[in-house]
Amino acid sequence: MSIPNPPVLDAIYNRRSIREFTDMPITPDTVAEIIKAGGWAPSGLNNQPWRFVIVRDKNVREDLAKFTKYSQIINESQICIAVYLDKRVMYNDVKDHQAAGACIQNMLLATEALGLGAVWLGQILINKDQVNQLFGLDSNYDLMAVLALGHPKHRKQKSQRKEINELILNEF
């Protein structure tokens, strides 16, 4: 008899980047839960440098979509969440960026655990200044990613990973 994975491992292993969504809406409570999960990520000195912009409005999402070649994903999603670092509360470039990554991953795992789907969009960063302009944000806010979220149209996504023995450099 095999022992089931703890829920967090289920979320880690079952999470896939979801790029196609149904038109079922996402409730504000669900969005709040996902952002709360992001905010419970670890950060150096517990400085919590992350900030968020929630884009539910279809017209604003269409404007956002113009800044990436992945526009179709944004337009099909129900909600986008832009994740920012607030430069004014940063204390160490590397560590604050690591904290942003932990925050984003928490949000993706929470999304999975809540039965929704999401994809981490990074290509849009080439137009991060225009994204700030769209949101009325000044240069104190540095865009880290846009997450596109919704109910998955299907769960057929496949992905692969290197074997762990390819990853371990040494063991003493």
Ligand X SMILES: Cc1cc2nc3c(=O)[nH]c(=O)nc-3n(C[C@H](O)[C@H](O)[C@H](O)COP(=O)(O)O)c2cc1C
Positions in the binding site for ligand X (CB under 6 A): 16-17, 19, 70, 119-123, 157, 159
Shortest separation between residue 100's beta carbon and ligand X, angstroms: 10
CA distance linking residue 13 with residue 4, whole number of Å: 13
The amino acid at residue 122 is G
For ligand X, give the closer residue by CB, 16 or 87: 16
Q: What are 54's two structure tokens?
A: 């929630």
Strand-pairing partners, residue 50, are: 85
Nearer to ligand X, 70 or 135 (CB): 70
Residue nearer to ligand X on the CB measure, 48 or 157: 157
Instruction: Name the phi and psi angles at 38, rounded to 5.
Output: -60, -45
Provide, rounded to whole angstroms, the least separation between the CB of residue 81 and ligand X.
14
Q: Give the whole-angstrom CA distance, residue 12 versus residue 166.
A: 20
Cα-Cα-Cα-Cα torsion 51, 38, 53, 115, nearest 10 degrees, comes to 180
Length of the chain as a residue count: 172
Distance CA 83, CA 34 (A): 12
Cβ proximity to ligand X: between 29 and 166 the closer is: 166
**Nearest distance, CB of residue 88 and ligand X, angstroms:** 24
Q: Among all residues, whose Cβ is closest to ligand X?
A: 122
CB of 170 to ligand X, least distance (A): 26
